[in-house]
Structure 1
Amino acid sequence: MALIRLDIQTIVVGGGPVSSLMILKTHASDNIHTKNHNRGRLPIQIGPVEAMSIGTGVNSSSTQGGRPMTHDLLAMTIKALGATLDAVVINAVEGTTFFAQLRLIKSDGSMAFVDCRPSDAVALAVRTGTPIYTTTDVLNTASFPDFEDVEEEEKQHELSEFHKFVEGLSPEDFNESNKQSNKQ
């Protein structure tokens, strides 16, 4: 299973009937090509509490008032047990529901996998500096293109076509068109 590294692009904290949203983007160093586009964005609907927890983890690694929040507590527990969080992987999507796993390395070097929600995995990852990954299947199923990248690619293609056209011109091309316009 090929893994693609992700970064957090944005977290939108909704309230009331408005959902919260986490948008992940492919990591700059991963030059991947999904089925329909390159450099995808992965939107995942999450709860407002989880969105705030991720935001808190991104903006500060310290606990509030000396008392750890839930994801801080889990990170401290993993460390106290002698394990390290190696990676979080968003490994499946069914309809609008995403699934994730924590990939832990235990003190004896063996690996353990813990199923969880992507929002909890990302909240833990931002607190521990752990990379976030997904699979090509998840990206192909649920991502959308980075429209800025698509627009830039289109501009580059048009510019390349124009350069080819200009390189193919010769002085005779201009003389010939002048002769035809003089005949009219």
Structure 2
Amino acid sequence: MVQVRVAGVALDATEQHVILLKPIGEIEGGGRILPIWIGQQEATSILIAIEGAVVPRPLAHDLMRSLVETLGATVVRVEVARIEEGTFYGEITLSTVLGERIVDARPSDAIALASRVGAPIWVADAVMDEASVPDTVTGADADADGEIETDADTVTAERLDEFKRFLDDVEPEDFGS
């Protein structure tokens, strides 16, 4: 498992929301980043939590936090546990009076909850190996044709092209704080 942080939430070239997870301890502009495409409501909810914004009525993830706290449980951690056929699966580990319990969740919901309660976010090594991409593309990473050289077992050409299109259209302000 790799502990990550939310590096940003942005829109890709097709106006789809994407959350960017970066391993803790890796320098900015280096290492790898895990993009996960999420829904608009989840993106908004994560941004609200990260920015500490106050909303007039609780959002669904605020309700989740309230339910967990009211039941005397705490969120121990959240995980992006696996990826199957391009779909990411998450888990929320709760500490309860009956012991630890693991709850299946969409990664976006798990991350939105973790962002509210300060729980650590983890990604399975196999998920990082399969779906992460280089944080930046430098000249040293490109061949004579400007194509990116990658290990075909870890990053497919299609996912890399998709991420390069995203990088071409992303603006710094899309990442928030």
* Deviation, structure 1 residue 96: 2.1
- Taking a change above 3 Å as real, the CA distance of residues 42 and 29 of structure 1, as seen in their structure-2 partners, is closer
Look up the match of 2:33: 41
Structure 1 position 53 matched with structure 2 position 51: no
The answer to whether the 8 Å contact 1:103/1:112 transfers is yes
Unaligned runs of 5+ in 1: 31-37, 153-184
Give the distance between the partners of 1:151 and 1:134, measured in 2 at CA: 28
Given the alignment, which residue of 8, 25, 39 partners 2:22? 25
What do the CA deviations read for 1:36-87 (whole angstroms, capped 9, x no partner)?
A: xx8321000001111011001111164x22x211100110110110100000
- AA aligned opposite 1:8: V
TM-score (normalizing by structure 1):
0.68
Describe how 1:73-92 pairs up with structure 2 within 5 A: 73-92=63-82
Identify if the C-alpha distance between structure 1 residues 11 and 82 changes in structure 2 by more than 3 Å, giving closer, same or farther: same
Stretches (4+) displaced over 4 A? none
Counterparts of 1:42 and 1:101, CA distance in 2: 17
Matched residue pairs, number? Answer: 139
Work out which of the two has the higher radius of gyration on C-alpha atoms and give 1 or 2: 1
After TM superposition, give the deviation of residue 18 of structure 1 in Å: 2.0
Query: Which residue, out of 3, 6, 25, partners 1:5?
Result: 3
Query: 1:5: how far off?
Result: 0.3
Give the share of equivalent positions with the same residue, in percent: 32
Q: Deviations over 1:95-117 (max 9, x none)?
A: 32100000000024x11000010
What is aligned with 2:153? Answer: none
Residues 20, 133 of structure 1: alpha-carbon distance in 2 compared, 3 angstrom cutoff = same
Cα 1:151–1:6 change in 2 (3 A) is: farther
- Separation in structure 2 between the aligned mates of residue 11 and residue 21 of structure 1, nearest angstrom: 6
The answer for unaligned runs of 5 or more in structure 2 is 141-177
Q: Which runs of structure 2 are paired with 1:123-162 in the superposition (5 Å)?
A: 123-147=112-136
Flag the structure with more relative contact order, 1 or 2, with Cα contacts below 8 A and sequence separation at least 6.
2
Aligned pairs for 1:160-171 (under 5 A) are: none
- Counterparts of 1:103-118 in structure 2, within 5 Å, are 103-108=93-98, 110-118=99-107
* Contact map agreement 1:91 1:100 (CA 8 A) in 2: yes
In structure 2, the CA distance between the partners of 1:26 and 1:85, relative to structure 1 (3 Å rule), is same
- Which has the larger helix fraction? 1
What amino acid is the match of 2:2?
A: I
Q: Which amino acid aligns with 2:42?
A: E
1:7-60 Cα distance to aligned partner (Å, 9 max, x none): 111101579x62110110001179xxxxxxx83210000011110110011111
